[in-house]
């Protein structure tokens, strides 16, 4: 049976699920794994699935080499505005209990589709390679918690340990293009919740209060000076205040305000510098406002930088160029977005290669580039308008995973490695 990948993608796109709620998606994954005769375990790290294809190595009786492939499954609380016939109208309840729209605005539906297509191909060509493939369908990447949740649930102990971890992400590059670079591919990040404590009271008597709304406004503005005035312009750092919550009525000065921050940096040294500056500013602005209770700063998640192994990345770049033609692979630069895929490689102590593949109509991309409107005309991940073209995006996603896996797997018995 051949998987109808277009139908699979459309179905996943129509039925997105929030982090740690990917039960329907996981069920579709396990049904296809069952149809393909691939052994698997479900419910790892709550809603994760891991599958294994064992194809013993040449004459050794072992399962080495072991290649791990990873795809994430969760969607975002975004209301889709693409206008597609198969656009999501789904809703869900987020971790705070709030009813929200749900959309695959980051393309994880494409990740799952490409992974299942690649596994189908690898099963069909088992006579052409040797080793073990472990496919990880990970929940909750958008919360930065899914990889660690699966690791805490023993995925590295319950499945053959990797020799290398491979993964990919759809991005607004021209369809057919692969974007990868050695070294830091994506930034490290922290999510912080800052709570500022004031003294509430009547809006007509501000002098009897300590206004946390004004305190929050001053803090937000001062935080912007970290990157603009305290970071070397040659370095990379991002400080974003993504949400502010304070008050319920216009004539009530609330007792507290909450800020949610997203911080990004290329390495651990930069992380320490930015975190120190954030803490200094938050505490200083609270003191300047006369706060009687010091603010709290809680780390909601920490993601390490996604660092591609230089040797393995060079090797895979050659393989991609050989399979898809010279010029297919571009250096996309370091992305200031963050990922949790590297936890698998870090915990196992093995190399990682993580690449991007394009999903934008090449003609539209070229037109936008020529007119200087790439930033405004081409929707990016997390946009309510983000919608990869189906073809050749699906095919390239499948092919890239297969080429990558085969590059690091062994050759069948009696066949030289270069023939694989």
Specify whether the CB–CB gap between 28 and 137 falls below 8 A: no
Contacts of 52 (CB under 8 A, 6+ apart): 38, 39, 40, 132, 133, 134, 135, 159, 160
What element of type H or E holds 19? none
- Residues pairing with 205 in the sheet: none
Q: How confident is the model at residue 58 (pLDDT cuts 50, 70, 90)?
A: very low
Q: Residue 61 pLDDT more than 60?
A: no
Instruction: Locate 224 and state its tokens.
Output: 């912007």
DSSP state for residue 255 in the 8-state scheme: S
Q: Residue 57 pLDDT more than 90?
A: no
Q: What is the pLDDT of residues 358-377, one digit of tens each?
A: 999 999 999 999 999 999 99
Average pLDDT in the 31-55 region? 97
Q: Residue 188 pLDDT more than 80?
A: yes
> Among 239, 257, 237, which Cα is nearest to 247's?
257
Average pLDDT in the 84-113 region? 97
> Among 298, 186, 187, 276, which Cα is nearest to 231's?
276
Q: How confident is the model at residue 59 (pLDDT cuts 50, 70, 90)?
A: very low
3-state secondary structure of 333: coil
Average pLDDT in the 158-162 region? 96
Q: How confident is the model at residue 417 (pLDDT cuts 50, 70, 90)?
A: low
What element of type H or E holds 37? none
- Between CA 358 and CA 365, with CA 360 as vertex, the angle to 5 degrees is 110
% of the chain with per-residue pLDDT over 90? 92
Q: What is the pLDDT of residues 348-360, one digit of tens each?
A: 999 999 999 999 9
Q: Return the pLDDT at 411.
A: 82
Q: Return the pLDDT at 64.
A: 72
Q: Return the pLDDT at 415.
A: 62
The answer, as to whether pTM is greater than 0.75, is yes
Q: What is the pLDDT of residues 276-332, one digit of tens each?
A: 999 999 999 999 999 999 999 999 989 999 999 999 999 999 999 999 999 899 999
What's the burial of 127, exposed, middle or buried (CB within 10 Å: 0-12/13-18/19+)? exposed
% of the chain with per-residue pLDDT over 70? 96
Q: Return the pLDDT at 1.
A: 60
**How far, in Å, are 121, 200, 239, 261, 283 from residue 294 at the CA level?**
58, 15, 22, 18, 7
Q: Return the pLDDT at 165.
A: 98
> Among 46, 369, 375, which Cα is nearest to 177's?
369
Q: Is the peptide bond before 212 cis (omega within 30 degrees of 0)?
A: no
Q: H helices within 37-82, ranges in order? A: none
Q: What is the pLDDT of residues 221-245, one digit of tens each?
A: 999 999 999 999 999 999 999 999 9
Q: Return the pLDDT at 268.
A: 86
CA dihedral 232, 295, 263, 348 (to 10 degrees): 120
Q: Residue 63 pLDDT more than 50?
A: no
Q: Residue 204 pLDDT more than 70?
A: yes
Contacts of 188 (CB under 8 A, 6+ apart): 264, 265, 266, 267, 268, 270, 271, 302, 303, 304, 305, 338
Residue list, annotated binding site for Mn(2+): 106, 108, 142, 169
3-state secondary structure of 104: coil
Contacts of 103 (CB under 8 A, 6+ apart): 16, 75, 76, 78, 79, 80, 88, 90, 384
The structural domains of the chain, ordered by start, are 5-186+305-419 (3.40.630.10), 188-302 (3.30.70.360)
DSSP string, 351-399: -EEEEEEEEE-HHHHHHHHHHT-HHHHS--TT-TT----STTHHHHHHH
Q: Residue 341 pLDDT more than 50?
A: yes
**How far, in Å, are 22, 140, 208, 386 from residue 155 at the CA level?**
18, 15, 56, 32
Average pLDDT over the chain, rounded to whole?
A: 95
Residue list, annotated binding site: 106, 108, 142, 169
């Amino acid at each position: 049976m051949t998987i109808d990948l277009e139908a699979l993608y459309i179905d996943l796109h129509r039925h997105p699920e929030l982090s740690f709620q990917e039960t329907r998606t996981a069920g579709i994954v396990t049904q296809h794994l069952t149809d393909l005769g691939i052994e698997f375990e479900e419910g790892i790290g709550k809603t994760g699935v891991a599958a294994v294809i064992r194809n013993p190595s040449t004459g050794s009786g072992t399962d080495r080499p072991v290649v791990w492939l990873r795809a994430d499954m969760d969607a975002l609380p975004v209301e889709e505005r693409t206008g597609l016939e198969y656009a999501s109208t789904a809703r869900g309840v987020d971790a705070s209990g709030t009813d929200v729209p749900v959309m695959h605005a980051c393309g994880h539906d494409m990740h799952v589709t490409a992974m299942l297509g690649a596994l189908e191909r690898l099963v069909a060509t088992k006579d052409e390679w040797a080793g073990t493939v472990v496919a990880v369908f990970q929940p909750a990447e958008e919360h930065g918690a899914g990889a660690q949740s699966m690791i805490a649930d023993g995925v590295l102990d319950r499945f053959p340990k990797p020799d290398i971890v491979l993964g990919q992400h759809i991005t607004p590059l021209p369809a057919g293009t692969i974007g990868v670079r050695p070294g830091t591919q994506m930034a490290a990040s922290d999510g912080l919740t800052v709570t500022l404590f004031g003294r509430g009271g009547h809006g007509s008597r501000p002098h009897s209060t300590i206004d946390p709304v004004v305190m929050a406004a001053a803090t937000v503005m001062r935080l912007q000076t970290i990157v603009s005035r305290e970071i070397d312009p040659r370095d990379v750092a991002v400080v974003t205040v993504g949400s502010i919550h304070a008050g319920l009525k216009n004539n009530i000065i609330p007792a507290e305000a909450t800020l949610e921050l997203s911080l990004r940096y290329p390495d651990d040294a930069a992380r320490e510098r930015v975190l120190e500056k954030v803490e200094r500013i938050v505490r200083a602005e609270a003191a300047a406002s006369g706060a009687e209770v010091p603010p709290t700063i809680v780390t909601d998640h920490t993601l390490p930088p996604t660092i591609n192994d230089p040797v393995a990345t060079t090797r895979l770049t050659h393989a991609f160029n050989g399979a898809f033609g010279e010029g297919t692979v571009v250096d996309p630069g370091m992305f200031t977005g963050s990922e949790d895929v590297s936890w698998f490689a870090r915990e196992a102590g093995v190399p990682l290669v993580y690449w991007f593949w394009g999903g934008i109509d090449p003609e539209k991309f070229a037109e936008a580039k020529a007119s200087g409107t790439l930033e405004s005309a081409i929707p990016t991940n997390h946009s309510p308008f983000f919608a990869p073209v189906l073809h050749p995006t699906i095919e390239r996603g499948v092919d890239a995973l297969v080429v990558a896996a085969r590059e690091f797997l062994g050759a069948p018995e009696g066949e030289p490695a270069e023939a694989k």
